[in-house]
């Protein structure tokens, strides 16, 4: 974790599906994520949660979900919660 983060461990994920990566307000992203330049799809999120470094080498997220079922459940939750 670098200095200067704004008090959370990760960026706000509200409506992250479809959002351009690295664009949450008030989050101090790594250069890797800040320069990503793609929008998050369910497929990319699945790969991200399985192996974030494979998507963006140098990213600072230190979290992996090895279970494909758990990844699918989390992504379904993010989509559903984003509609509320
Ligand atoms: C189910 C749990 C999690 C999900 C679905 C998730 C998902 C994500 C996603 C989609 C991003 C990119 C956001 C964007 O582009 O705006 C991200 C970034 C990040 N997450 Fe996670 N995350 C999870 C758990 C965690 C945990 C437990 C931590 C830390 C304790 C964490 C720390 C971070 C950090 C620091 C970043 C920014 C990385 C960077 O700037 O390179 N995440 N996460």
pLDDT score for 8 = 58
Residue 66's domain spans which residues? 31-81
pLDDT score for 26 = 86
- State in Å: Cα 25 to ligand 1 middle: 14
Q: What are the average pLDDT values for consecutive 10-residue runs of the chain, which has 84 residues? A: 56 95 93 96 98 96 96 98 93
pLDDT score for 57 = 96
With respect to residue 18, please indicate whether it lies within any of the assigned structural domains.
no
Q: ∠ at Cα 35 (71, 47), nearest 5°?
A: 20
With respect to residue 60, please indicate whether it lies within any of the assigned structural domains.
yes
**What residue's CA is closest to ligand 1, atom 41?**
59
Q: Domain with 65 in it: what CATH number? A: 1.10.760.10
Q: What is the 3-state secondary structure (H, E, C) of the chain?
A: CCCCCCCCCCCCCCCCCCCECCCCCCCCCCHHHHCCCCECCHHHHHHHHHCHHHHCCCCCCCCCCCCHHHHHHHHHHHHHHCCC
The domain tally of the chain equals 1
pLDDT score for 45 = 98
**Residues in the ligand 1 pocket, defined by CB under 6 Å:** 9-11, 13, 16, 21-24, 29-30, 32-33, 40, 45, 48-49, 59-61, 63, 74
């Amino acid at each position: 974790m670098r200095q200067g983060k704004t008090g959370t461990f990760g960026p706000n994920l509200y409506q992250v599906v479809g959002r351009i990566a690295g664009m949450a307000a008030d989050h101090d992203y790594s250069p890797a994520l800040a320069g990503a330049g793609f929008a998050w799809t369910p497929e990319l999120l699945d790969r991200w949660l399985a192996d974030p470094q494979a998507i963006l080498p140098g990213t600072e997220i230190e979290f992996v979900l090895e279970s494909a079922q758990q990844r699918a459940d989390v992504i379904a939750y993010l989509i559903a919660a984003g509609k509320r």
